[in-house]
Amino acid sequence: MSQPAAVHLNLWKRRLGRVPDEVWNQVELETLVLAENGLTELPEEIGRLQRLRMLDLGHNALRSIPASIGDIVGLSDFLYLHDNCLSALPASLGRLKRLRYLNIGENAFDVLPDCVCEMVGLIELRAGGNPLTSLPDSLRELKFLRELHLRNTRIESLPDAIGALMELRQIDLRGTPLQRLPPCLAGLPRLEKIDLRWVETLEPSPAIADLEARGCLIYR
């Protein structure tokens, strides 16, 4: 009696250096963990894994991501790219409309890639530890976003577009050179926490008082 095809493959911390070719033939995979393997590149063949719901590529040395990952349109649980050497993402990743969790923290992004704001299903976005200086107005497209993590970036202000994120619950701005908070934050009905610890540059803002008055926690 034949064994059922594996749907979960965990190759965490195997010191692979390169992913074995046979991995790309396991088209039944739903989760694939390749974290901490010293990977510097991935082949376009990763796009064969059309059933993936979760892909973990964190803690490697990747400088680019194959455009074919954008073909895995069923990728929904999370895409983990934390702690690599990435400064850009292929436009094709904007096709990942069902993705709910994206972590691109601890990379080299000085601008948020356009494709991120096309991932309209995102609930949580982690972009901390990048040299980001601003956020685009297209952020308003992330209507379902609940958590926005920007710790240790170079962001000095938030765009007014953030006022369109009616589902937003948490914003992490720890260790940023933030200078002002937009008044529109006070109009976000579900906002419950803003973390401003280790922010030394923030000007006094009536938005903070308004938010605290209605029960939003401000850590500073």
Domain ranges in the chain are 8-132
Torsion of CA 92, 96, 101, 107, to 10 degrees: 0
Would you place residue 205 in the very low, low, confident or very high pLDDT band (cuts 50, 70, 90)? confident
By DSSP bridging, strand 147-149 and strand 170-172 are: parallel
Report pLDDT for 4: 55
Would you place residue 131 in the very low, low, confident or very high pLDDT band (cuts 50, 70, 90)? very high
Return all residues near 157 (Cβ < 8 A) that are at least 6 apart.
134, 178, 179, 180, 182
**Inter-residue contact 94 to 114 (CB < 8 Å):** yes
pLDDT of 7 strictly over 50: yes
pTM: 0.95
pLDDT of 1 strictly over 50: no
pLDDT of 58 strictly over 50: yes
Q: What is the pLDDT of residues 93-111, one digit of tens each?
A: 999 999 999 999 999 999 9
Can you identify the CATH homologous superfamily of domain 8-132?
A: Ribonuclease Inhibitor (3.80.10.10)
Tell me which residue of 144, 69, 143 sits closest to 104, measured CA to CA: 69
Would you place residue 204 in the very low, low, confident or very high pLDDT band (cuts 50, 70, 90)? confident
E-strand ranges in 15-117 read 31-33, 54-56, 78-80, 101-103
- State the chain's mean pLDDT as an integer: 95
Average pLDDT rounded to a whole number, residues 4-33: 92
State phi, psi for 71 to the nearest 5 degrees. -80, -15
Q: What is the pLDDT of residues 160-202, one digit of tens each?
A: 999 999 999 999 999 999 999 999 999 999 999 999 999 999 9
Q: How far is CA 19 from CA 23, 61, 150, 160, 163, in A?
A: 7, 13, 31, 43, 42
**Inter-residue contact 180 to 160 (CB < 8 Å):** no
Measured CA to CA, the distance from residue 22 to residue 9 in angstroms comes to 12
Report pLDDT for 207: 85
Q: How far is CA 86 from CA 57, 82, 130, 212, in A?
A: 12, 9, 10, 37
